[in-house]
Amino acid sequence: MLCHELENMLSQEPDGAMPPALAEHLKVCADCRALAADLEAIRLGSFDLPAEEEPPARVWAQIRLQLEAEGLIREPRFERAPRSSAGWVFFQRPAFAGTILGLLLLAAGLVGVRGVGTRSNLNAEWNPAIQPMQPEATQQVASLDASEAGIESLQQVDPGVQVVFKRDLALVDNAISTCEKSVREQPDNDLAREYLYDAYQQKAQLLAVAMDRGALGGR
Amino acid sequence: MPRTRRSDTGELSESDAIRLAQQGDPAAFERIYQLHNRRVYALCLRMVGNTAEAEDLAQEAFLQLFRKIGTFRGESAFSTWLHRLSVNVVLMKLRKKSLPETSLEEQTEPDEEIGGPRKDVGGPDLLLTGSVDRVNLQRAIEQLPPGYKSVFVLHDIQGYEHNEIAQIMSCSIGNSKSQLHKARMRLRELLQETLRDQARQQRQAARGGSAGTD
C-alpha cells in the first residue's frame, strides 16, 4: 500500500518533501528505496547537461538575411552629410537658406514631373511646352550656378579649404547623378526620389558652408 | 559623418530592444537574439539530438518570433513567449518526422502502467546512482516521447518552474508535474536497459570475444 502511495506522491510532487510515513517506508522497502535513488540520480545527472549552448554564427547570419528579404528590417541606405556646422550655418542665414531650399524643391519637383537628367543641363533640357518655367525658378537655378561658381572665390580666402570643398562637391554631385539616373529609370519609385532629395539637401548644406567661409556674402 | 546608428547592441535592455524591434530596428533584432539564442538553441538540441536540426529549428523559432514581435503586448514574460514558440516549432518538426508523440493529456504510453515501483526492470542491484553519465542520459532523453521530453528538458535541464512550463506548454501545473515524473520513470527504464547492455558486453569481452549469437 505504501509503495502505491509513494508512486502517487512522486507523480503529484516529483520534487516535493517526503512525508514522514513514506520516509519510514523507504527504510524498509528496497524497491522503493531504489526507485527514489534512481529518480534522484536522474535529476542530478541532468545538471551536467548545459541549459545553454552557443549556436554557430551562421544561424544569426541566416536569420538576418531572411529578415531583410521579408522586409522586417528597415536599414538606412544613405549616410547623411554632417549637419552640425553646415546645418547651423544654413539656419543662421534664413534668406540664403530659403533660396537654396526653394531651389532644391524646384529641382525635386522637376524631377518628379519629367525625370530630367543631370542638374547641370537642367536649363537646356527644360521644355516650356510641357511646363513653363517660372521667372523666379529661373532665377533660383541661376543662383545655384552662382553658388557653385562662388566656391572659386574661396581660393582668395583659403586655398586648402577650396580643395576640400571641391572634392566633397564632386562626391555629392556624383551621388545626385546616380540618384537622378535611378529616378529616370524608375519614375514611380518614391524611395529613389527621396534619396535624390536627400542628395540635393547635402549639396545645399555643403554650399552653405562654402558660402559662409568664402568671399560671397551669402544670399 | 554618418547618421548615428545604434552600434553598441549590448546597451539595449530587453524591453527597449523589443520596442525598437517592433519598429524594424536591425540592432534591436540582434540584441534580442543575443539575449536568448543560447537557451533556445540548447532546448532545440536537447529535443532533437543533433546540431544540424537544432540550428534549423532555432533559426525557425527566431524567425517566427521576429515576424510576430509586433503582436507582443507584454502580458507574459518575453522569454516564456519565446520558449513557447520554440517548443511548438520543435514539436511540429517531430510530428512531421512521425515520431510517436505523447500529448500532454495522454496518461501513459500504450501497454505501460505506472503503478508501484517497477520491480521487473531491476531492483537494488541495478541502481543508477553513480552510473548516470552525460552521454547515456542524453541518448536516453532523445528516446523520450516529445511530450515527456519537452517537460523534462524545460524543468530539469533549463530550470523552468512548473507554473512557467504550464504557460509554455499550455497545460496545467499538475499536468506538468505528472509528465515530469513519467519522463523520469521512462528515463530510468532506458538507462537500466543501457546498463544491462553494457554489463552484457563486458561479460562477453571477459569471455574472450565469444560474442555473437547468445
Interface test with A, best of B4, B107, B156, B173 (most A CBs within 10 A): B156
Looking at the structure, tell me whether residues B76 and B38 fall in a common domain. Answer: yes
Please check whether residue A76 lies inside any domain of the structure. Answer: no
Q: Does residue B23 share a domain with residue B78?
A: yes
In a domain, B68, yes or no: yes
Confidence of residue A39 (pLDDT cuts 50, 70, 90): very high
Contacts with A63 from chain B: Cβ below 8 Å: 29, 33, 59, 62-63, 66
Question: Do A108 and A193 belong to one domain?
Answer: yes
Give the range among A15-24, B8-17, B51-60, B183-192 with minimum mean pLDDT.
B8-17
- Residue A202's domain spans which residues? 84-213
Can you tell me the mean pLDDT for B115-135?
60
Q: Is residue A69 part of a domain?
A: no
Residue B101 lies in a domain: no
pLDDT digits (tens, 9 = 90+) for B127-185: 777 778 888 999 999 999 999 999 999 999 999 999 999 999 999 999 999 999 999 99
The per-residue pLDDT for A28 is 93
Identify which has the larger pLDDT, B211 or A124: B211
CB A182 within 8 A of CB A192: yes
- Residue in chain B closest to A2 (alpha carbons) equals B116
Taking an 8 Å cut-off on Cβ atoms, the answer to whether A39 and B184 are in contact is yes
Binned at pLDDT 50, 70 and 90, residue A32 comes out as: very high
Given a cut of 50, whether residue A187 has pLDDT beyond it is yes
Mark whether A111 and A195 lie in a shared domain: yes
pLDDT at A159 over 80: no
Flag whether B102 is in a domain: no
- Given this model, what pLDDT does residue B211 score? 52
Note down the domain range covering B63: 12-96
Residue A108 domain-assigned? Answer: yes
Residue with cell 535513488: A37
Mutate which: B6, B137, B165, B189, vs A, most A CBs within 10 A: B137
pLDDT at res. B120:
41
Instruction: Count the residues in chain B.
Output: 214
**Cβ proximity of B148 and B179 under 8 Å:** yes
pLDDT of B17-47, one tens digit each?
999 999 889 999 999 999 999 999 999 999 9
For residue A42, give the nearest of B41, B67, B184 by CB distance. B184
Residues whose CB is less than 8 angstroms from the CB of residue A27 and which lie 6 or more positions away in sequence, other chains included: A33
Q: For position B91, which CATH number holds?
A: 1.10.1740.10
Q: Which residue has the cell 538553441?
A: B41
User: A59 exposed, middle or buried (CB, 10 Å; 0-12, 13-18, 19+)?
Assistant: buried
Same domain, A198 and A134: yes
Residues A26 and A108 placed together within one structural domain of the fold: no
The enclosing domain of B144 has a CATH number of: 1.10.10.10
Q: For residue range A11-22, list pLDDT tens digits in order.
A: 999 998 888 988
Q: Are residues B85 and B142 in the same domain?
A: no
- Whether B109 is covered by a domain: the verdict is no
Same domain, A121 and A43: no
Q: How far is Cα B88 from Cα B74, in angstroms, rounded to an integer?
A: 20
Contact across the interface for A51 and B185, Cβ inside 8 Å:
no
Q: Which residues contact B1 (CB under 8 A, 6 or more apart)?
A: A81, A82, A84
Residue-averaged pLDDT of chain B:
82
Å between A192 CA and nearest CA of chain B: 19
Asked if A208 reaches chain B (Cβ–Cβ under 8 Å), the answer is no
Q: What is the pLDDT of residue B207?
A: 86
Q: What is the pLDDT confidence band of residue A218, given thresholds at 50, 70 and 90?
A: very low
| End-to-end C-alpha distance for chain B, whole angstroms | 79
Residue A60 has pLDDT above 60, yes or no: yes
Nearest to B44 by CA among B91, B79, B81, B78: B91
Q: For chain A, how many structural domains are there in total?
A: 2
* Joined grid coordinates for residue B46: 536537447
Residue A93 shares a structural domain with residue A159: yes
Q: Report the domain count for chain B.
A: 2
Residues A97 and A196 reside in one and the same domain: yes
Q: Taking a contact as any Cβ pair under 8 Å apart, which residues of chain A between 36 and 55 contact chain B?
A: 37-46, 48-55
In a domain, B106, yes or no: no
In a domain, B107, yes or no: no
Residues of A numbered 2-21 whose beta carbons fall under 8 angstroms of chain B's beta carbons: which are they?
3-4, 6-7, 10-14
* Closest chain B CA to residue A68: B26
Do A100 and A9 belong together in one domain?
A: no
Instruction: Looking at the structure, tell me whether residues B18 and B84 fall in a common domain.
Output: yes
Which runs of consecutive H residues, i.e. helices, occur in B49-130? 51-68, 78-96
Helix axes A94-114, A190-213, angle to 10 degrees: 150
Are A98 and A145 contained in the same domain? yes
- On whether residue A54 sits in a domain, the answer given is no
Please write the tens of the pLDDT for every residue from B166-180: 999 999 999 999 999
Give the model's pLDDT for residue B32: 96
- As a whole number, mean pLDDT of residues A91-99 equals 51
In a domain, A64, yes or no: no
Instruction: Please tell me whether residues A207 and A133 are part of one structural domain.
Output: yes
Please list every residue in chain A whose beta carbon sits closer than 8 Å to the beta carbon of residue B180: 14
Average pLDDT, chain A: 70
Mutation for B interface: A10, A32, A38, most B CBs within 10 A: A38
Residue with more model confidence, A192 or B1: A192
Q: Do A185 and A118 have their domain in common?
A: yes
